[in-house]
Chain A
Amino acid sequence: MFKNKGIAFKLVLFFTLSSALIFAAIFSYNYLVSRRMIEKGIEENSANLITTTTSRIEVLLTSTQKVPQNAAYLLENTNYDESELFKVIYAIVEKNPEIYGAAVAFEPYAFDKKKKYFAPYFYKNGGGISFKYLDRFYDYFRWDWYQIPRELEQPQWTEPYFGEGGGILMSSYAVPFFRVVDGTRKLTGVIVVDISLDELRDIVSSIKILKSGYGFLISKNGTFVTHPIKEYIMNETIFSVAEERNDAMLREAGRKMIQRQTGFSAKSVKSAVTGKSCIMTYVPIKSNGWSLGVLFPYDELMSDITNLNHIVIALGIIGLALLALAVVFIARSITKPLTQMANIAGRIGRGDLEVQVPDIRTRDEVGKLASALDYMKTSLKDYIRELTETTASRQRMESELKIARNIQMGILPKTFPPFPERTDFDIHALTLPAREVGGDFYDFFLIDKDHLCFVIGDASGKGIPAALFMAFTKTLIKAKASANLETGALMEQVNDELGKGNDADMFITVFCAILNTVTGELRYTNGGHNPPIVMRSGGDESYLDGPGELVVGIMEGSRYSTRSLVLKPGDGLFLYTDGVTEAMNEADEIFSTDHLLDVLISCRDKTVSDITACVGEAINDFCKDTPQYDDITMMALRYEGRR
């Protein structure tokens, strides 16, 4: 997906993303650690706070507990009458400012065998102390303060309740007392003291955590005893609040609280006052099984770390933006010359070598690229200049060669039939020049009316030297040929001429013959040339006698013989150079002398021009498109005689 985007884009994306990831990882770790530190701090602080608070509550409760406990001890171990009992109860109310009222309630008929209900009660009333009996209308046996310690045979704090007038929240501490009757310890009654919970409420409501954190107290049943929201007190339990909020976690925390456990809420608890998420810690009040809960508003606790985090995030974002800018800048500094050089390379590609490569002084990869580009341009320029020069010289040479070839071809007779007025013989020659200038030549001319001289040859080597050598040979032969001169002597003279100053050791194969057109006698000398084929009119084709003599021009003073042959009217002669028999096909096979003979047999009855054409076609068929490196030259002669 980023294939088409530039390097700058990729760099920015890569660096920004990876830096953001690293930043996020560091940030998260930092956040978690600092949060844990703060939570640990809360734990310690709350432990201190809660310990202080609970110990204040414990002091309040235990000091109250001691009063009825001592009284119970007194009632169990001394004998007393009604007035003494009254004095004790009165003293409890009078001497203990925190105690609102006190009663000693007896089991039915336990104090007085005639009285089912006997429970004297003293209580503070305005400035003084009032008294009454708790009677059958009140039926104290049915009340929790009496029944629960009686059934459990243990001192009990009652659930809180609203006192007289409804305004004061109170709780009672009730202690059962016993008497040993007939050896068994028997429950005799319950001593109860009532205390106001105002002081306890003041202790708990003094808990202030940051701005909105608060403490609350719940009873054994989970009922709110103190709470910043007044309506909660006595009306709601922590479980009814959990039910209303549909908060199972809060219910679970509440159960742990009433089971006298110490701990933290598993998850955040919503503040009843602000609705904010809070961490709730709880600790039991040992004396009465109530539980103190403290709510720590999470966001307020975390406000420092939250502020810090905001700053860190802001710094992080700014840093990332700066980094992105820096990457853009660096990427630009790389890609700008790169783009420039890509353009330059494009222009060089289109042939514009005059383009200026920017001068980049840095020694980095871009600088190297620029100097490489510059070097490439200079080298290309030099190369092209050299190439142009080479091409020009080669073209000149080629045109010179072409001229040479044209000259070479120009000196060969090309008009056919060459002697239209003569019917006593016919001659035709064909040359297929190779790509390079070769050394083949042929010639025929009438020495006089009755003597036709004809020559075919092949100079050694290729190119201009061969062409010149061949032209020189042709000129020599034509100049020296005469009816009185045997071909052997002619060849000796030519050989001597060519041999003079032949430092290059060049030579030429030459077959030279003079036909007496009257008699049909053919006198000939073969200077190292391929033997011609005699085509008898009866239909007998054969190569002319064995291998020839020494090639011409190589050795001065060589001797050449003259041989003769009589042609009958209708007989013919086929002459050729090695370009014919050594023509090659694709499979590197040569045309061969046998094949040549077969071809000539097949076209024996044709005219001389058709014979050369016939052989030319056969060579074409054999070689197809394989280029030939030697000139292919052939000449056909037919003697008709005078009729």
Chain B
Amino acid sequence: MKDHRGKEGSSRGKAAALLPALALLLVALVVATAHGESALKKVSFIPLWSPQAQFAGYYAAQETGIYKKYGLDVTIIQGGPHRPSSELLEKGEADIGSIWLSTALQKRSRGVRLVNIAQIVQRSSLMLIAKKARGIRRPEDLEGKKVGLWGDDFRIQPEAFFKKFKVSVKAVPQSYSVNLFLRDGVDAASGMWYNEYHTILNAGINADEITSFFYSDYGLNFPEDGIYVMEETLKKDPAKACAFVKASIEGWAYAFDHPDKAIDIVLAHMRVANVPANRVHQKWMLERMKDIIMPSGQTGGTPGLLRKEDYERVGKELKAGGLIRDIPAIDTFAFGCEGHVQK
């Protein structure tokens, strides 16, 4: 039952199919041996989730040879719900990984020496999607309502949000899909702006029928996807890690400039991974990634920079929630790549 049911529901919640992943690995190896001149440094990268436009920049950098340009031979490991990136880094199964800031801080607090080498997503995409038909138009309207919440890191912002507006909700564990919300099992559901929100629109609910609460709009902006390495890996070859960061940012720039090509690349990876692939959905996702990677309102936006106020806000909220004991100094947690890049 486990395997066949693993395909159910949203693109977020797919049990990784082992075979396609191996196939991809094999392809990557073949490519690596064919082109892999001795000069290229081998790097493995684990994204947060199964292939989708959330990682378009990395796939684009790999497919268009940007990594190679920076002297890297990158293998992108197929991610998924049962392959958490932080664990792969911890076990040494991947060199570099994409991890949420809040996740990394908690891991660090538990003694896992993860170092942030780039903060790609600047704006939190996590949101609460509520039905207007259930009378929800303001945060206060959530009082007593059934709200679907994801576990672990996804609960930090909602709980701070409910606390802020002094509402108590009936939390319902949210599964990998939004079907419970679509079938009126809950009044509000958690979602990522670039993913579940659009899934809901494409399940026939109109945008004017729902109320959106972006946590980032309520003083709870938690920057999400960042690029992390283990401290010892970084020490061994900081130039390699920094080359990966530079190349990945260039890959993102390429993806934003060539959305159709980038989506083609992503869709190809999705098909290999055997996850539902939908072009308009991936297009939406890429557009939203642009919004959260390069928020228009942000000043001094160096791509990839972890801003101190964002860092401290996340640290403060995690500490208040009892999820970490101390907030590490930003310069020990985040590593600046300036001066470490060789082409």
List residues of chain A with CB under 8 Å of any chain B CB.
101, 103, 121, 123, 132, 134, 137-138, 141-145, 147-148, 151-152, 156, 158-159, 161-166, 168, 170, 194, 220-223, 234-240, 243-244, 251, 254-255, 258
- Measured in the bound complex, the distance between the Cα atoms of B1 and A103 in whole Å is 9
Contact of B280 among A147, A163, A244 (CB under 8 A): A244
Contact of A240 among B2, B4, B173, B278 (CB under 8 A): B278
Interface string of B134-178 (1 = CB under 8 A from A): 000000000000100000000000000000000000001101110
Contact of B182 among A221, A234, A255 (CB under 8 A): A221
Q: A148-B185, A151-B186 are in contact. Are A134 and B1 (CB under 8 A)?
A: yes
Query: By the criterion CB–CB under 8 Å, are A161 and B281 in contact?
Result: no
Q: A121-B1, A151-B172 are in contact. Are A162 and B7 (CB under 8 A)?
A: yes
Contact of B203 among A121, A151, A222 (CB under 8 A): A222
10 intermolecular pairs with C-beta atoms under 8 Å apart: A138-B5, A144-B9, A151-B146, A161-B5, A170-B4, A237-B203, A239-B201, A255-B204, A258-B203, A258-B204
Q: A159-B9, A166-B7, A240-B281 are in contact. Are A151 and B180 (CB under 8 A)?
A: yes
Query: In the complex, which residues 187-240 of chain B have their Cβ closer than 8 Å to any Cβ of chain A?
Result: 201-204, 206
Interface string of B81-105 (1 = CB under 8 A from A): 0000000000000000000000000
Query: By the criterion CB–CB under 8 Å, are A237 and B202 in contact?
Result: yes
A147 partner residues in chain B, CB cutoff 8 A: 172-173, 175, 180, 185
- Measured in the bound complex, the distance between the Cα atoms of B182 and A272 in whole Å is 26
B146 partner residues in chain A, CB cutoff 8 A: 151
- Nearest Cβ on chain A to B10's Cβ, whole angstroms: 10
- Measured in the bound complex, the distance between the Cα atoms of B182 and A239 in whole Å is 14
- Measured in the bound complex, the distance between the Cα atoms of B278 and A237 in whole Å is 9
Q: B276 interface residue, CB < 8 Å from A? A: yes
Query: By the criterion CB–CB under 8 Å, are A236 and B278 in contact?
Result: yes
- Measured in the bound complex, the distance between the Cα atoms of B202 and A123 in whole Å is 33
A143 partner residues in chain B, CB cutoff 8 A: 5, 8, 175-176
- Nearest Cβ on chain B to A39's Cβ, whole angstroms: 27
Query: By the criterion CB–CB under 8 Å, are B177 and A144 in contact?
Result: yes
- Measured in the bound complex, the distance between the Cα atoms of B8 and A101 in whole Å is 16
- Per CB-CB distance, the 8 closest pairs between chain A and chain B, nearest first, are A151-B185, A221-B203, A163-B4, A161-B8, A164-B4, A239-B202, A142-B175, A162-B7
- Measured in the bound complex, the distance between the Cα atoms of B174 and A151 in whole Å is 11
Contact of A161 among B4, B182, B206 (CB under 8 A): B4
B184 partner residues in chain A, CB cutoff 8 A: 152
Chain B interface, DSSP helix/strand/loop, else mixed? loop
- Measured in the bound complex, the distance between the Cα atoms of B203 and A538 in whole Å is 146
A132 partner residues in chain B, CB cutoff 8 A: 1
Q: B253 interface residue, CB < 8 Å from A? A: no
A243 partner residues in chain B, CB cutoff 8 A: 202, 280
Query: By the criterion CB–CB under 8 Å, are B1 and A123 in contact?
Result: yes
Chain A interface, DSSP helix/strand/loop, else mixed? mixed
Contact of B180 among A134, A148, A162 (CB under 8 A): A148
Contact of A235 among B9, B206, B278 (CB under 8 A): B278
A223 partner residues in chain B, CB cutoff 8 A: 203
List residues of chain B with CB under 8 Å of any chain A CB.
1-5, 7-9, 17, 146, 172-173, 175-177, 179-180, 182-186, 201-204, 206, 274, 276-281
Give the residue among A168, A236, A239 with the most B Cβ atoms within 10 A.
A239
Residue of A nearest to B206 (CB): A255
B176 partner residues in chain A, CB cutoff 8 A: 142-143
B5 partner residues in chain A, CB cutoff 8 A: 138, 143, 145, 161
- Nearest Cβ on chain B to A187's Cβ, whole angstroms: 13
A142 partner residues in chain B, CB cutoff 8 A: 173, 175-176
A163 partner residues in chain B, CB cutoff 8 A: 4, 7
Query: By the criterion CB–CB under 8 Å, are B173 and A220 in contact?
Result: no
Give the residue among B176, B179, B276 with the most A Cβ atoms within 10 A.
B179
- Measured in the bound complex, the distance between the Cα atoms of B13 and A138 in whole Å is 13
Q: A158-B8, A222-B204, A237-B202 are in contact. Are A144 and B278 (CB under 8 A)?
A: no
Query: By the criterion CB–CB under 8 Å, are B17 and A166 in contact?
Result: yes
- Nearest Cβ on chain B to A333's Cβ, whole angstroms: 71
- Measured in the bound complex, the distance between the Cα atoms of B179 and A121 in whole Å is 23
- Measured in the bound complex, the distance between the Cα atoms of B61 and A152 in whole Å is 46
Residue of B nearest to A142 (CB): B175
Residue of A nearest to B19 (CB): A166
- Measured in the bound complex, the distance between the Cα atoms of B176 and A147 in whole Å is 11
- Nearest Cβ on chain B to A85's Cβ, whole angstroms: 16
Query: By the criterion CB–CB under 8 Å, are B1 and A144 in contact?
Result: no
Contact of A159 among B2, B8, B173 (CB under 8 A): B8
- Measured in the bound complex, the distance between the Cα atoms of B4 and A103 in whole Å is 14
Residue of B nearest to A255 (CB): B204
A101 partner residues in chain B, CB cutoff 8 A: 1
A222 partner residues in chain B, CB cutoff 8 A: 202-204
- Measured in the bound complex, the distance between the Cα atoms of B265 and A624 in whole Å is 120
- Nearest Cβ on chain B to A237's Cβ, whole angstroms: 5
- Measured in the bound complex, the distance between the Cα atoms of B201 and A215 in whole Å is 24
- Measured in the bound complex, the distance between the Cα atoms of B171 and A284 in whole Å is 33
- Measured in the bound complex, the distance between the Cα atoms of B176 and A45 in whole Å is 42
Assuming A138-B1, A148-B179, A166-B17, what are 19 further A-B pairs, CB within 8 angstroms? A101-B1, A121-B1, A137-B2, A144-B180, A151-B172, A159-B9, A162-B7, A166-B7, A220-B183, A223-B203, A235-B278, A237-B203, A239-B201, A239-B203, A240-B202, A240-B279, A243-B202, A255-B204, A258-B203
- Measured in the bound complex, the distance between the Cα atoms of B186 and A142 in whole Å is 14
A156 partner residues in chain B, CB cutoff 8 A: 183
- Measured in the bound complex, the distance between the Cα atoms of B277 and A156 in whole Å is 26
Q: A101-B1, A144-B179 are in contact. Are A235 and B277 (CB under 8 A)?
A: yes
Contact of B276 among A137, A148, A152, A235 (CB under 8 A): A235
A236 partner residues in chain B, CB cutoff 8 A: 278
- Nearest Cβ on chain B to A171's Cβ, whole angstroms: 10
- Nearest Cβ on chain A to B213's Cβ, whole angstroms: 21
- Measured in the bound complex, the distance between the Cα atoms of B203 and A251 in whole Å is 10
A145 partner residues in chain B, CB cutoff 8 A: 5, 8
- Measured in the bound complex, the distance between the Cα atoms of B279 and A236 in whole Å is 9
B175 partner residues in chain A, CB cutoff 8 A: 142-144, 147
Residue of A nearest to B176 (CB): A142
- Nearest Cβ on chain A to B305's Cβ, whole angstroms: 34
- Measured in the bound complex, the distance between the Cα atoms of B203 and A254 in whole Å is 9
- Measured in the bound complex, the distance between the Cα atoms of B207 and A255 in whole Å is 13
A240 partner residues in chain B, CB cutoff 8 A: 202, 278-281
